[in-house]
Amino acid sequence: MERKVDRLVELVRSGSPMRIAMRRLLADRLALISLLFIAVMALVTLLGYLITPDSTPYANNQHLQLATLRPGTRVKLLLIPKQHEVKLRNPIGRMLFGQESRYSEVPIDSIYFVGAKVYAVEYNPIPEAKPIVSEHNLNDLLFPASLGVKFNLANDTLVSHLSNGDIQRVSLKDARERILKSNVVSRLFVLGTDRFGRDMLSRLIIGGRISLAVGFVAVGIALIIGIVLGSIAGFARGIADEVIMWLVNVVWSVPTLLMVIALTMVIGKGFWQIFVAVGLTMWVDMARVVRGQVLSVREKEFVDAARVLGLGRARIIFRHILPNVLPPVIIVAASNFSTAILLEAGLSFLGIGVQPPAPSWGTMIRDHYGYIIMDKAYLALIPGFAMMLLVLAFNLLGNSLRDALDPKE
């Protein structure tokens, strides 16, 4: 038994430091669960509009009649072809930017036919209210109005004159069956709808894309600025170190939220502006960590050997010093992900982050926090719970990375 234990210890300790760290990380169940959750979230948000029930840009298809529906509600919709031509995007374009629907959707309770007319009893959340009935032509439901189709009714047959000169004849029975089959659909709102009647699941997925994108872009900006300034300060010392550390202390003394608000006021409000603003406020942590590590590594023998060989400062820093200070940088970067997500959500909650109609978890909470004291608190709790899980996953991953990359273990 002791031999087996010794063998296992030897296997764990064998190999390069990176391989040892990977084995330690993969042996941590919390780290694996966190990685799996982050990977699933990244995949779902990357596919975005390809898998959302509402694939319109920003998942902004509104039905005021369907406002604040409970999760799991199923509603019938009457699809009416739009009067203008809808430009179709390729799969990549649909995945990134969504696709305008070719139909206008009317929530209904039922429909009935009278001759060439279709009467839709529109959905009404108040059962005792007087029903609203809308009238439509059969031909308008079969063909987009942009085609310039004219029709007439003869002997229970719908005669359509297409703009290209063709004539199409469809019996009333077949036309009605086609409408019931193709133009009346049933849609399930898995997480219900928000106060504007928009699908909550779709907006949650697209909002998660924004949160993850803020994390990646902001941390990327912080890494670039922090590594460059921190390595210069730690390696060059002297005046360069004093100037950089003075700048770090000045930025550090300003509250992060206040700094982000000031930057958004300067560079504007919007999707990319918030990424830059968050990134420009997070580099100070990275710079301090990198400077401290470089100060320690620069005194090592291999750095002295590189100087003796006549290598330039840039090569010594980026080829010999930085690879040896990556572990703490990776740990700080993982923790900065959660900070960036919370910052973006906080700014969106205040109304100076990502602007409507773009969905954001912070915006979704702001729009529905008043429902917390009502019987529909889930409207604010769902995005809040999603944010909590994502931030928790990054924090747990950061803790596991710290333990795995600790050379003393």
Given 189, 221, 237, the domain boundary residue is 189
Tokens 């979230």 found at: 41
Q: Does the residue 258 lie in any domain?
A: yes
Q: What is the pLDDT along the chain (409 residues), one digit of tens a residue?
A: 545 444 544 544 555 666 777 777 778 888 899 999 999 999 999 999 999 999 999 999 999 889 999 999 999 999 998 877 888 899 999 999 999 998 999 999 999 988 778 899 999 877 777 888 989 887 778 776 544 455 555 556 766 666 656 666 777 788 888 888 989 999 999 999 999 999 999 999 999 999 898 888 888 888 899 888 888 888 888 888 889 889 888 888 888 778 777 877 777 777 777 778 888 888 888 888 888 888 888 777 877 787 777 777 778 877 778 777 877 888 888 888 888 899 888 888 888 888 888 899 999 999 998 898 888 899 999 999 999 999 999 988 888 887 777 655 5
Q: Does the residue 137 lie in any domain?
A: yes
Q: Are residues 181 and 132 part of one domain? A: yes
SS3 55: coil
Q: Are residues 399 and 274 part of one domain? A: yes
| Domain limits for position 307 | 200-404
- Tell me the chain's radius of gyration from C-alpha atoms: 30
pLDDT of residue 406: 65
Spatial separation of the C-alpha atoms in residues 293 and 324, rounded to whole Å: 9
Given 164, 189, 214, the domain boundary residue is 189
> What backbone phi and psi angles, to 5 degrees, belong to 274?
-70, -30
Q: Does the residue 194 lie in any domain?
A: no
Q: Does the residue 48 lie in any domain?
A: no
Nearest alpha-carbon partner for 340 in 270, 387, 291: 387
Q: Are residues 390 and 328 part of one domain? A: yes
pTM of the predicted model, to two decimals?
Answer: 0.85
Q: Are residues 221 and 114 part of one domain? A: no
Q: Are residues 267 and 157 part of one domain? A: no
Q: Are residues 118 and 88 part of one domain? A: yes
Given 189, 211, 232, the domain boundary residue is 189
Q: Does the residue 78 lie in any domain?
A: yes
Domain count, the chain: 2
Q: Are residues 377 and 304 part of one domain? A: yes
The angle formed by the CA atoms of residues 79, 81 and 86, to the nearest 5 degrees, is 125
Q: Does the residue 80 lie in any domain?
A: yes
Q: Does the residue 38 lie in any domain?
A: no
